[in-house]
Amino acid sequence: MRRYETIFITHPDLTEEDLSVLHEKLRSIMSSLKGELIKLEDWGPKKLSYAIRKNTRGHYFLLDYLAATDLVRELERNLRLNDRVLKFQTVKISNQVSPEAAQALPAAGPDKKAINVIERSSPSPEPKREEAEPEAFGEEKKNESAS
């Protein structure tokens, strides 16, 4: 298993319903190909640094997961086919995640928590989320160095 993270940008005007349909789709792909979702972060609508398909704003999401290569391929294929997704990028975080570490990770940030992240973001305090994100990353790094 490898650990990846995918950032995808959706159209900014999507309704909650559209988004939940999309998330459900991604979750089902993930479970069908034996991936493990660590977290799904909602960064909210942000201004894009350059226009993508004539959109100056986009809704950012971050998927953090453990997967094999076939899952990444399938996930990206689906994102590519979806017109509501403006752009996506997958980055490999670590090459090898041992089974023990894999079990420890979802315990830290389980699926349920990921849902909360999305719910919390609906009032959209944008700067707050931006601050919270690097902190979370720092914690991850600490965990890695400790182990």
Partner 1 sequence: MKAPVKRKRPFQRRKVCVFCADSGMRINYKDVKTLNHFISERGKILPRRISGNCAKHQRDLTSAIKKARNIALMPFSLFGS
Interface positions with partner 1 (CB under 8 A): 7, 9, 48-50, 52, 58, 62, 87-89, 91, 133-134, 137-138, 141
Contact by Cβ (8 Å): 76, 90: yes
Q: Smaller CB distance to partner 1: residue 50 or 112? A: 50
Q: How far is the CB of 62 from partner 1 (least distance, A)?
A: 8
Q: Smaller CB distance to partner 1: residue 107 or 146? A: 146
Two tokens, residue 137: 């990353």
Backbone angle region of 19, left / alpha / beta, with phi > 0 → left and psi within -120 to 50 → alpha = alpha
3-state helix, strand, coil in the chain (%, to 5): 50, 35, 20
Q: How far is the CB of 42 from partner 1 (least distance, A)?
A: 14
Q: How far is the CB of 51 from partner 1 (least distance, A)?
A: 9
d(C-alpha 23, C-alpha 42), whole Å? 11
Q: Smaller CB distance to partner 1: residue 112 or 141? A: 141
Q: How far is the CB of 25 from partner 1 (least distance, A)?
A: 21
C-beta atoms surrounding 124 within 10 Å? 11
Q: Smaller CB distance to partner 1: residue 8 or 66? A: 8
Q: Smaller CB distance to partner 1: residue 126 or 133? A: 133
Q: Which residues contact 87 (CB under 8 A, 6 or more apart)?
A: 8, 9, 52, 58
Q: How far is the CB of 117 from partner 1 (least distance, A)?
A: 15
